[in-house]
Structure 1
Amino acid sequence: MVAREAATSAVDLPSFKRSQYWAPRRARIRVIYTTQRCASPQLNAQGTRQQSTADLTQLPVVIRVRSRVQNRAWHHPTKSCLSVVAADVVDHVLYASVYPSPTIRMTITRSHALTRTLRVLYWLPLGIAFTHYGYTVKTVRGRSMQPTLNPDTSPWDDIVVFDRLGIHSGKPIARGDVVSLRDPVDSRKMIVKRVVAVADDFVQTLPPYPDAEVFVPEGHIWVEGDEPFRTLDSNTFGPVPLGLVDAKLSYIIWPLHRIGPLNLPERPISKMGVPRDSQWRDAMAAFERERKRQSRITATPAGSDKTAVP
């Protein structure tokens, strides 16, 4: 690096006091300080200022200095093992433009990378336990739960909060809950369905189930997709053991215009004088679909709306 020229006749290396400095990570270290004493500029025989350069290569710091305040104190970054390449002394101002050597830069980078790696490893077990037994966020793909999830009006797949904590803590599963479970036909797959009936309920089935009505035994649930023409559910494989349930879907977090909890469809409210648009019609269709589905369920006196997960 070529040092700039300074208008001094002689270079008197300054002494310094303490001050503040700013040292960003993996970047040039910038220190602000000034001299306590410095040689004054002198004129040569031709009446012009003599030019000289101050070489401070032995100073054990890397600095980028800008200061015009005389006697400002400064703080020395001890044990930095970095050195100034060149500097200029002009009146009571010291300018230094310096860069760390490749070896020092590599050492600093490796040190920061090691620190980040150790932090990740420290929190990794807690993160795994939290996502396995607590909450996680996943993208729901497919169209079997339309219009509750991934409606045709949305160009993005829904991202939903999966609640495993309630399932593993024995919180009861209720009719109307949207759950994720292992596919009874292919255990390698996870599917998302709505709980239609719980233990001790009678269900009027839909094709292709061979029986017109089925009883849900203890420790089982009956699940269906909200879109009956695009789903493979209990009407195909029958009641599902509770042990296959992985999580309950509780909240949509993406896309932004669909943020909100996953609740059962409700009857839309029609305002006086306001025409019923397509959004109102879709909400009404979802409400009627859910009402018809609930009419197919008959709970026995021994049954209840909820059943505990073993």
Structure 2
Amino acid sequence: MAKSTTKEKGNGFLDVIVTILVALGVAFLLRTFVVGVYEVPSGSMLETIQEGDLLLGEKVSLNWESPKAGDIVTFDSPREPGTTLVKRVIAAGGQTVDLRDGNVYVDGVQLDESSYTLGKPSYSLSDQAGSAGITYPYTVPDGCIWVMGDNRTNSLDSRYFGAVRVSSVTSKILCIYWPISDVKGL
């Protein structure tokens, strides 16, 4: 059996360091360009997403397609720089959103949202202090999306801050991965 030399021990140590650096680099690239991990700080998406849930979002498809109605997305808050929000896409650029009698209409068709709003009414938030003063019907500008929280009576969303630029969308949510009791695809 051959004895290890100091040079061989040094190479083994260097191999470990290089492996760690490569792993950190790959993790950084994945988090920056492929997936995002998000913690939900509020109840604006109840009952679909619970406060404190951890979400996994993918970023890659945003390079060739815009978010569409029904997608749950993360985006940079139009009102609080550095804050990431999670909401459901209701309409895309060019579509008209209307709120009547607590219901949401897109291009004149009432949405069936009972599976995720639990029947909570969707009223305008234009009368709240600090809101964008949206009037309905509202046509979503090109390059933008209209987003709303599933917890319609407790969500500051496009009804409050207006349409969101597609360029500010950071990911499409794939699933809740923690806690185990809430794990599901979205």
Q: Same fold (TM over 0.5)?
A: yes
Q: Give how far 1:224 is off.
A: 0.9
User: Could you say which residue in structure 1 is the equivalent of 2:79?
Assistant: 185
User: Could you say which residue in structure 1 is the equivalent of 2:17?
Assistant: 117
Structure 2 CA distance for aligned equivalents of residues 243 and 218 of structure 1? 11
User: Could you say which residue in structure 1 is the equivalent of 2:57?
Assistant: 162
Structure 1 CA distance for aligned equivalents of residues 167 and 44 of structure 2? 22
Structure 1 CA distance for aligned equivalents of residues 185 and 145 of structure 2? 22
Cα distance 1:232–1:125, how it changes in 2: closer, same or farther (>3 A)? same
Unaligned stretches of 5+ residues in structure 2:
100-123, 127-132
Cα distance 1:111–1:230, how it changes in 2: closer, same or farther (>3 A)? farther
User: Displaced runs of 4+ in structure 1, greater than 3 A?
Assistant: 110-115
Does structure 1 retain, via aligned residues, the 8 Å contact 2:176–2:182?
yes
Aligned partner of residue 174 in structure 1, secondary structure:
coil
- Give the 5 Å matches for 1:137-286: 137-150=37-50, 157-167=52-62, 169-205=63-99, 206-208=124-126, 209-262=133-186
Cα distance 1:239–1:210, how it changes in 2: closer, same or farther (>3 A)? closer
Unaligned stretches of 5+ residues in structure 1:
1-75, 82-103, 152-156, 263-310
| CA deviation map 1:4-56 (0-9, x unaligned) | xxxxxxxxxxxxxxxxxxxxxxxxxxxxxxxxxxxxxxxxxxxxxxxxxxxxx
Cα distance 1:160–1:210, how it changes in 2: closer, same or farther (>3 A)? closer
Structure 2 CA distance for aligned equivalents of residues 113 and 253 of structure 1? 35
| CA deviation map 1:201-233 (0-9, x unaligned) | 111241224413211111111011111232211
Structure 2 CA distance for aligned equivalents of residues 243 and 180 of structure 1? 11
User: Could you say which residue in structure 2 is the equivalent of 1:27?
Assistant: none
| CA deviation map 1:45-86 (0-9, x unaligned) | xxxxxxxxxxxxxxxxxxxxxxxxxxxxxxx3x2247xxxxx
Structure 2 CA distance for aligned equivalents of residues 121 and 242 of structure 1? 34
Larger Rg, first or second structure (1 or 2):
1
Higher strand share: 2
Structure 1 CA distance for aligned equivalents of residues 94 and 161 of structure 2? 18
Higher helix share: 2
Structure 2 CA distance for aligned equivalents of residues 116 and 140 of structure 1? 36
User: Could you say which residue in structure 2 is the equivalent of 1:79?
Assistant: 3
* Paired residue total: 154
Whose relative contact order is higher, 1 or 2, with alpha carbons under 8 Å and at least 6 apart? 2
Aligned partner of residue 86 in structure 2, secondary structure:
strand
Percent of pairs with identical residues: 27
- Give the 5 Å matches for 1:30-45: none
Could you state the TM-score of these two structures normalised by the residue count of structure 1? 0.45
Structure 2 CA distance for aligned equivalents of residues 230 and 113 of structure 1? 55
